[in-house]
Amino acid sequence: MPVPLEDLRVLVADDHALYRRGLVMELEESDDLEVVAEAASGEEAVEQAVSLAPDVILMDVHMPGIGGIEATRRLMEATPTARVLMLSVSDETDDLLDAVKAGAAGYLLKETSIAEISDSARRVARGHCFVSPELAGRLLAEFAAMARRLDAEPRVEAAPALLTTREIDVLQAMADGADDAAIASTTGMSAHAVRNHVRNILEKLQLASRTEAVLYAVRSRLVDP
């Protein structure tokens, strides 16, 4: 469920102290944003996020230690409702795709204005996903290429027989855009059980990400688009 914007709590994770401090000061100028903590490494970001449960984590991609993408992956396992908005100087497609696969809800370049970062944090808190316009075209192109690969190389001929009824229900919810927390809420399962079903779906379909699973399921008519 989207959080009320007047209660929007933000964690800022970035190893560059000057940039982080400047971002925090600018964010705190907004009446509807509260910076509850800062982190200078991926490990610290995970620890703070698990402890404080902020509504949005602004996460630098490249940080000492495990880095922002691995930190996001660990956060998704520990707190599936977390909403991570990646911030980076990198416009590399691989970084963008790795962030999406890790579970990030958004990806912005650091050259983005503070006002745009704040607005994107609000969008992410509402449950939306957001990518810098400069990178959106690349993401769509990669998804199109992924879809073509799945069309050309169907990996599982008898997928419906492999998946249980509950797994197909979870797959349908994923296709509808629901995250793990929403799936758990609507099905009555625990978040842990949902994550197990998602992992089983990927293993059975021999796919690497939720996005690939949804694309495969829609094109194979396992679920309604």
- The string of pLDDT tens digits covering residues 174-213 is 888 777 788 888 888 888 888 888 888 888 888 877 777 8
Whole-angstrom Cα distance, residue 183 to residue 37?
29
What is the residue-wise DSSP string for 152-180?
Answer: HS---TTHHHHS-HHHHHHHHHHHTT--H
Check if CATH label 3.40.50.2300 holds for domain 5-133.
Answer: yes
Check if CATH label 1.10.10.10 holds for domain 153-219.
Answer: yes
Q: Choose among 47, 43, 36: nearest CA to 12.
A: 36
Q: Where, residue-wise, is CATH 1.10.10.10 in the chain?
A: 153-219
Whole-angstrom Cα distance, residue 153 to residue 2?
38
Q: Choose among 40, 41, 72, 77: nearest CA to 57.
A: 72
Q: Is the pLDDT of residue 61 over 70?
A: yes
- Angle 35-36-38 (CA atoms, 0-180°, nearest 5)? 80
Q: Is the pLDDT of residue 3 over 70?
A: no
Q: How far is CA 43 from CA 35, 97, 178, in A?
A: 18, 21, 27
In this predicted structure, what is the pLDDT of residue 72?
Answer: 93
Give the bridge partners for 87, in sequence order: 60, 108
Residues 6+ apart with CB under 8 A from 186: 173, 178
Residue 98: half-sphere exposure toward Cβ, Cα within 13 Å: 15
Q: Where, residue-wise, is CATH 3.40.50.2300 in the chain?
A: 5-133
Structure token pair of residue 16: 């560059």
Q: Is the pLDDT of residue 158 over 50?
A: no
Contact 204, 180 (CB under 8 A): no
Residue with more model confidence, 16 or 114: 16
Q: Is the pLDDT of residue 147 over 90?
A: no
Q: What is the mean pLDDT of the chain?
A: 83
Instruction: Band the pLDDT of 143: cuts 50, 70, 90.
Output: low
Whole-angstrom Cα distance, residue 29 to residue 15?
22
Instruction: Band the pLDDT of 153: cuts 50, 70, 90.
Output: low
